[in-house]
Amino acid sequence: MGIAMSLPAMIVLFLFTLGPAIYAFFLSFFSWSLLNKMQYVGLSNFGFIFTSPLFWTAVFNTASFALVVVPTQTLVALGIAVLLNQNLPARGFLRLAFFFPAVSSSAVISIIFMWIYNKFGLLNGALGVLGIPGPNWLANPFFALKAIMMMNIWTTSGYFMVVFLAGLQAIPQEIHDAAWVDGAGSWYRFTRITVPLLKPTTFFVAIMGVIGTMQMFDQAFIISGGTGGPLNSTTTLVLLIYQYIFSYGQVGYGAAVTVILFVFTMAVTLGVNKWLGKPIEY
Protein backbone atom coordinates (compact mmCIF):
# COMPACT_ATOMS: atom_id res chain seq x y z
CA MET A 1 0.00 0.00 0.00
CA GLY A 2 2.81 2.35 0.83
CA ILE A 3 4.55 1.52 -2.42
CA ALA A 4 1.38 2.29 -4.35
CA MET A 5 1.11 5.67 -2.66
CA SER A 6 4.62 6.68 -3.59
CA LEU A 7 4.41 5.22 -7.09
CA PRO A 8 3.53 8.51 -8.86
CA ALA A 9 6.50 10.24 -7.30
CA MET A 10 8.75 7.29 -8.07
CA ILE A 11 7.63 7.31 -11.70
CA VAL A 12 8.28 11.03 -12.03
CA LEU A 13 11.66 10.65 -10.35
CA PHE A 14 12.56 7.77 -12.63
CA LEU A 15 11.32 9.43 -15.81
CA PHE A 16 12.96 12.78 -15.30
CA THR A 17 15.99 12.14 -13.15
CA LEU A 18 17.16 8.58 -12.73
CA GLY A 19 15.92 7.36 -16.09
CA PRO A 20 17.78 9.92 -18.22
CA ALA A 21 20.88 9.47 -16.08
CA ILE A 22 20.89 5.72 -16.61
CA TYR A 23 20.16 6.27 -20.30
CA ALA A 24 23.18 8.53 -20.56
CA PHE A 25 25.41 5.81 -19.13
CA PHE A 26 23.87 3.41 -21.63
CA LEU A 27 24.42 5.79 -24.56
CA SER A 28 28.11 6.23 -23.79
CA PHE A 29 28.76 2.82 -25.26
CA PHE A 30 27.07 3.63 -28.57
CA SER A 31 27.72 5.72 -31.63
CA TRP A 32 24.65 7.69 -32.72
CA SER A 33 23.94 10.97 -34.47
CA LEU A 34 20.30 11.26 -33.46
CA LEU A 35 19.31 10.72 -37.07
CA ASN A 36 20.89 7.38 -37.88
CA LYS A 37 20.82 4.01 -36.19
CA MET A 38 22.70 3.38 -32.96
CA GLN A 39 25.82 1.25 -33.15
CA TYR A 40 27.49 -0.46 -30.23
CA VAL A 41 31.12 0.65 -29.95
CA GLY A 42 32.11 -0.48 -26.50
CA LEU A 43 34.65 1.75 -24.80
CA SER A 44 35.97 3.44 -27.92
CA ASN A 45 34.06 6.62 -27.16
CA PHE A 46 36.01 6.92 -23.94
CA GLY A 47 39.21 6.21 -25.80
CA PHE A 48 38.50 9.05 -28.19
CA ILE A 49 37.58 11.44 -25.41
CA PHE A 50 40.68 10.85 -23.35
CA THR A 51 42.94 11.45 -26.35
CA SER A 52 41.05 14.50 -27.60
CA PRO A 53 42.83 17.78 -26.86
CA LEU A 54 39.51 19.61 -26.85
CA PHE A 55 38.33 17.43 -23.97
CA TRP A 56 41.35 18.29 -21.86
CA THR A 57 40.89 21.96 -22.73
CA ALA A 58 37.35 21.68 -21.45
CA VAL A 59 38.59 19.96 -18.30
CA PHE A 60 41.13 22.71 -17.75
CA ASN A 61 38.53 25.43 -18.37
CA THR A 62 35.97 23.83 -16.08
CA ALA A 63 38.53 23.15 -13.34
CA SER A 64 39.97 26.64 -13.39
CA PHE A 65 36.46 28.04 -13.45
CA ALA A 66 35.49 26.04 -10.37
CA LEU A 67 38.75 26.73 -8.54
CA VAL A 68 38.38 30.47 -8.96
CA VAL A 69 34.66 30.90 -8.60
CA VAL A 70 33.90 28.64 -5.63
CA PRO A 71 36.31 30.17 -3.08
CA THR A 72 35.60 33.69 -4.29
CA GLN A 73 31.84 33.44 -4.17
CA THR A 74 32.02 31.72 -0.79
CA LEU A 75 34.12 34.52 0.66
CA VAL A 76 32.06 37.25 -0.96
CA ALA A 77 28.82 35.68 0.21
CA LEU A 78 30.19 35.28 3.74
CA GLY A 79 31.47 38.82 3.83
CA ILE A 80 28.21 40.33 2.68
CA ALA A 81 26.23 38.10 5.01
CA VAL A 82 28.29 39.26 8.00
CA LEU A 83 27.79 42.87 6.96
CA LEU A 84 24.07 42.48 6.48
CA ASN A 85 23.62 40.53 9.69
CA GLN A 86 24.10 43.71 11.64
CA ASN A 87 21.50 46.32 12.26
CA LEU A 88 22.18 48.58 9.30
CA PRO A 89 19.53 51.09 8.27
CA ALA A 90 18.74 49.83 4.75
CA ARG A 91 19.27 46.22 5.72
CA GLY A 92 16.12 44.79 4.17
CA PHE A 93 16.63 46.58 0.88
CA LEU A 94 20.31 45.64 0.69
CA ARG A 95 19.55 41.98 1.26
CA LEU A 96 16.99 42.13 -1.52
CA ALA A 97 19.42 43.88 -3.82
CA PHE A 98 22.15 41.29 -3.28
CA PHE A 99 19.79 38.36 -3.66
CA PHE A 100 18.09 39.68 -6.77
CA PRO A 101 20.61 38.37 -9.33
CA ALA A 102 20.10 34.86 -8.03
CA VAL A 103 16.45 34.85 -9.06
CA SER A 104 16.99 36.55 -12.41
CA SER A 105 17.17 34.61 -15.63
CA SER A 106 20.77 33.66 -16.33
CA ALA A 107 20.14 34.04 -20.04
CA VAL A 108 19.05 37.65 -19.60
CA ILE A 109 21.97 38.36 -17.30
CA SER A 110 24.37 36.88 -19.85
CA ILE A 111 23.02 39.11 -22.60
CA ILE A 112 23.22 42.19 -20.41
CA PHE A 113 26.76 41.35 -19.44
CA MET A 114 27.67 40.89 -23.08
CA TRP A 115 26.90 44.57 -23.46
CA ILE A 116 28.79 45.48 -20.34
CA TYR A 117 31.79 43.49 -21.54
CA ASN A 118 31.70 44.94 -25.06
CA LYS A 119 34.97 46.54 -26.09
CA PHE A 120 33.23 49.87 -25.86
CA GLY A 121 30.89 48.90 -23.07
CA LEU A 122 30.36 49.97 -19.48
CA LEU A 123 33.21 48.03 -17.90
CA ASN A 124 35.87 49.39 -20.21
CA GLY A 125 34.32 52.81 -19.84
CA ALA A 126 34.67 52.61 -16.06
CA LEU A 127 38.23 51.30 -16.34
CA GLY A 128 38.97 54.13 -18.75
CA VAL A 129 38.00 56.64 -16.08
CA LEU A 130 40.67 55.07 -13.89
CA GLY A 131 43.13 55.28 -16.76
CA ILE A 132 43.23 51.53 -17.41
CA PRO A 133 42.78 50.47 -21.06
CA GLY A 134 40.24 47.68 -20.95
CA PRO A 135 40.73 44.59 -23.12
CA ASN A 136 38.25 43.10 -25.57
CA TRP A 137 36.80 40.93 -22.84
CA LEU A 138 34.75 38.50 -24.87
CA ALA A 139 36.97 38.23 -27.92
CA ASN A 140 40.22 37.79 -26.04
CA PRO A 141 40.83 34.15 -25.17
CA PHE A 142 42.73 35.14 -22.04
CA PHE A 143 39.87 37.19 -20.65
CA ALA A 144 36.70 35.54 -21.90
CA LEU A 145 36.45 32.84 -19.25
CA LYS A 146 37.47 35.31 -16.55
CA ALA A 147 34.66 37.57 -17.68
CA ILE A 148 32.23 34.70 -17.19
CA MET A 149 33.77 34.00 -13.79
CA MET A 150 33.08 37.53 -12.64
CA MET A 151 29.54 37.38 -13.94
CA ASN A 152 28.95 34.06 -12.20
CA ILE A 153 30.28 35.32 -8.88
CA TRP A 154 28.02 38.35 -9.11
CA THR A 155 25.03 36.13 -9.84
CA THR A 156 25.39 33.41 -7.25
CA SER A 157 26.89 35.23 -4.29
CA GLY A 158 23.51 36.60 -3.40
CA TYR A 159 21.98 33.17 -3.08
CA PHE A 160 24.80 31.90 -0.90
CA MET A 161 24.64 35.11 1.11
CA VAL A 162 21.15 34.12 2.18
CA VAL A 163 22.40 30.67 3.16
CA PHE A 164 25.17 32.21 5.23
CA LEU A 165 22.74 34.61 6.86
CA ALA A 166 20.71 31.66 8.02
CA GLY A 167 23.83 29.99 9.34
CA LEU A 168 24.95 33.14 11.14
CA GLN A 169 21.61 33.54 12.79
CA ALA A 170 21.70 29.96 13.98
CA ILE A 171 24.68 30.74 16.19
CA PRO A 172 23.25 31.71 19.59
CA GLN A 173 23.90 35.31 20.47
CA GLU A 174 24.99 34.13 23.92
CA ILE A 175 28.14 32.61 22.46
CA HIS A 176 29.07 35.91 20.89
CA ASP A 177 28.36 37.65 24.20
CA ALA A 178 30.45 35.16 26.12
CA ALA A 179 33.37 35.57 23.75
CA TRP A 180 33.08 39.33 23.95
CA VAL A 181 33.07 39.33 27.71
CA ASP A 182 35.98 36.92 27.68
CA GLY A 183 37.91 39.54 25.80
CA ALA A 184 37.67 38.57 22.14
CA GLY A 185 37.76 41.42 19.64
CA SER A 186 35.60 41.40 16.52
CA TRP A 187 38.19 39.78 14.27
CA TYR A 188 39.14 37.12 16.82
CA ARG A 189 35.49 36.32 17.41
CA PHE A 190 34.91 36.09 13.69
CA THR A 191 37.80 33.77 12.95
CA ARG A 192 37.78 31.59 16.07
CA ILE A 193 34.08 31.39 16.82
CA THR A 194 31.87 32.38 13.90
CA VAL A 195 33.78 30.71 11.09
CA PRO A 196 34.28 27.35 12.86
CA LEU A 197 30.63 27.28 13.85
CA LEU A 198 29.68 28.02 10.26
CA LYS A 199 31.43 24.91 9.00
CA PRO A 200 28.24 23.02 8.06
CA THR A 201 26.96 26.07 6.18
CA THR A 202 30.30 26.59 4.46
CA PHE A 203 30.29 22.94 3.50
CA PHE A 204 26.89 23.29 1.88
CA VAL A 205 27.92 26.45 0.05
CA ALA A 206 31.15 24.87 -1.16
CA ILE A 207 29.50 21.68 -2.38
CA MET A 208 26.68 23.47 -4.14
CA GLY A 209 29.23 25.85 -5.61
CA VAL A 210 31.40 23.04 -6.91
CA ILE A 211 28.51 21.14 -8.41
CA GLY A 212 27.12 24.29 -9.99
CA THR A 213 30.39 25.51 -11.46
CA MET A 214 31.34 22.14 -12.85
CA GLN A 215 28.06 22.18 -14.74
CA MET A 216 28.24 25.74 -16.01
CA PHE A 217 26.74 25.86 -19.49
CA ASP A 218 24.22 28.54 -20.27
CA GLN A 219 26.48 31.52 -19.65
CA ALA A 220 29.29 30.07 -21.75
CA PHE A 221 26.82 29.16 -24.47
CA ILE A 222 25.25 32.57 -24.73
CA ILE A 223 28.44 34.56 -24.43
CA SER A 224 30.35 32.51 -26.99
CA GLY A 225 27.32 32.04 -29.26
CA GLY A 226 27.55 28.30 -28.74
CA THR A 227 31.09 28.08 -30.12
CA GLY A 228 32.95 27.78 -26.83
CA GLY A 229 35.33 30.41 -28.12
CA PRO A 230 37.29 32.50 -28.52
CA LEU A 231 39.80 29.79 -29.30
CA ASN A 232 37.94 27.26 -27.11
CA SER A 233 38.63 29.31 -24.00
CA THR A 234 35.03 29.17 -22.81
CA THR A 235 34.42 25.53 -23.64
CA THR A 236 33.26 23.95 -20.42
CA LEU A 237 32.55 20.25 -20.02
CA VAL A 238 28.79 20.66 -20.35
CA LEU A 239 29.15 22.95 -23.36
CA LEU A 240 31.40 20.29 -24.86
CA ILE A 241 28.73 17.68 -24.26
CA TYR A 242 26.22 19.89 -26.02
CA GLN A 243 28.55 20.41 -28.95
CA TYR A 244 29.37 16.74 -29.27
CA ILE A 245 25.71 15.85 -29.47
CA PHE A 246 24.31 18.68 -31.57
CA SER A 247 27.19 20.10 -33.56
CA TYR A 248 29.37 17.05 -34.05
CA GLY A 249 26.43 14.71 -34.18
CA GLN A 250 28.16 12.33 -31.80
CA VAL A 251 25.80 11.45 -28.99
CA GLY A 252 28.15 8.74 -27.78
CA TYR A 253 30.95 11.21 -27.13
CA GLY A 254 28.58 13.50 -25.29
CA ALA A 255 27.32 10.65 -23.14
CA ALA A 256 30.89 9.56 -22.39
CA VAL A 257 31.83 13.05 -21.22
CA THR A 258 28.68 13.05 -19.09
CA VAL A 259 29.85 9.90 -17.35
CA ILE A 260 33.31 11.35 -16.81
CA LEU A 261 31.84 14.58 -15.45
CA PHE A 262 29.71 12.58 -13.03
CA VAL A 263 32.80 10.79 -11.72
CA PHE A 264 34.73 14.07 -11.36
CA THR A 265 31.88 15.76 -9.48
CA MET A 266 31.42 12.78 -7.20
CA ALA A 267 35.12 12.71 -6.38
CA VAL A 268 35.26 16.40 -5.57
CA THR A 269 32.13 16.21 -3.45
CA LEU A 270 33.57 13.38 -1.42
CA GLY A 271 36.78 15.31 -1.05
CA VAL A 272 35.07 18.44 0.24
CA ASN A 273 32.98 16.30 2.55
CA LYS A 274 36.11 14.91 4.14
CA TRP A 275 37.43 18.37 4.75
CA LEU A 276 34.34 20.23 5.90
CA GLY A 277 31.61 17.72 6.47
CA LYS A 278 31.57 16.99 10.18
CA PRO A 279 28.48 18.30 11.96
CA ILE A 280 28.59 20.59 14.96
CA GLU A 281 26.90 19.50 18.19
CA TYR A 282 25.48 22.22 20.24
Partner 1 sequence: MQVPVHRATAKVVALCGLSLIVAASSASARTVRRVSGKPVTITLSGWTSSPVEAQLLTKDIAGFSKVYPNIHVLYRPISGSGSTYETVLRTRFVAGNAPDVIYVNNGGESSTFMANHDLIPLNSYIKSSHFTIGDFYKSSLSLFEQGGKIYGIPKDQSPLALFYNTTMFAKAGIKHPPTTWAQLVTDAKLLTNPSKHIYGLINSVQEPRWAQFLSEAGGGVMNPAMTKFTLTSPASVRGYTYFVDLYKRGIATVPTTVGASWGGQAFGMGNAAMVLSGDWLNPFLKQTYPGIHYNTAVLPKGPVSNVSLTFPVAYGITRDSRNPAAAWKLISYLTNQQGMTRWMNLGLALPTRRSLVGLPYFKHHTYIHGLLAQLPHSLAWTFPPGFVQFSSTTMLNQTTLAIEGKESPLQALKNMQSGGEAILKSR
Partner 2 sequence: MATIELEELCKNFSDGTKALSNLNLTVADGEFMVLVGPSGCGKTTTLRMVAGLEEPSGGTITIGERVVNDLSPRDRDVAMVFQNYALYPHMTVAKNIGFALRMRKVPKDVIDSKVEDAARVLGLSAVLNRKPGQLSGGQRQRVAMGRAIVREPAVFLMDEPLSSLDAKLRVQMRAEVTRIQRHLGVATLYVTHDQIEAMTMGDRVAVLKDGILHQCDTPDMLYDRPANLFVASFIGSPTMNLYEGRLVEGDDGLAVALGEQRLSVGRDTAERRQSLAAYRDRAIVVGIRPETLYGVQAAGLGPGGRAEEGNGALKVKVELVESLGSEFIVHFRIGAKTVEVEAAGTDPELTEVTVGGGARGGHGEARVGRDHEIKAGDEVWLSVDTNRLYFFDLATGVAIA
| Whole-number CA gyration radius for the chain | 23
Tell whether residue 188 is a contact of partner 2 (CB under 8 A): yes
Tell whether residue 26 is a contact of partner 1 (CB under 8 A): yes
Tell whether residue 280 is a contact of partner 2 (CB under 8 A): yes
DSSP states of 119-188: TTSHHHHHHHHTTPPP--TTT-HHHHHHHHHHHHHHHHHHHHHHHHHHHHHHS-HHHHHHHHHTT--HHH
CB of 167 to partner 2, least distance (A): 14
- CA–CA separation, 124 vs 137, rounded Å? 9
Q: Which of 60, 154, 180, 262 binds partner 2 (CB under 8 A)?
A: 180
Burial 67-95 (b: 16+ CB within 10 A, else e): ebbbebbbebbbebbbebbeeeeeeeeeb
Backbone angles phi, psi at 118, to 5 degrees: -55, 150
Q: Indicate if the alpha-carbon torsion angle 242, 233, 224, 229 is positive or negative.
A: negative
Dihedral, 51, 260, 207, 84 alpha carbons, nearest 10: 60
CB of 42 to partner 1, least distance (A): 16
Tell whether residue 11 is a contact of partner 2 (CB under 8 A): no
Tell whether residue 183 is a contact of partner 2 (CB under 8 A): yes
Tell whether residue 281 is a contact of partner 2 (CB under 8 A): yes
Tell whether residue 170 is a contact of partner 2 (CB under 8 A): no
Residue type, 144: A
Helix (H) or strand (E) holding 39: strand 39-40
Q: Which of 34, 112, 178, 267 binds partner 2 (CB under 8 A)?
A: 178
CB of 184 to partner 1, least distance (A): 53
CB of 255 to partner 1, least distance (A): 12
Tell whether residue 209 is a contact of partner 1 (CB under 8 A): no
Helix (H) or strand (E) holding 211: helix 199-214
Which does residue 19 bind out of partner 1, partner 2, none, counting CB within 5 to 8 angstroms by kind?
Answer: partner 1
CB of 247 to partner 1, least distance (A): 4
Tell whether residue 265 is a contact of partner 1 (CB under 8 A): no
Chain positions contacting partner 1, by CB under 8 A: 1-4, 7, 10-11, 14-15, 19, 23, 26, 33-36, 38, 118-121, 136, 138-139, 225-232, 243, 246-249
Chain positions contacting partner 2, by CB under 8 A: 172, 174-175, 177-185, 188, 193, 196-197, 199, 280-282
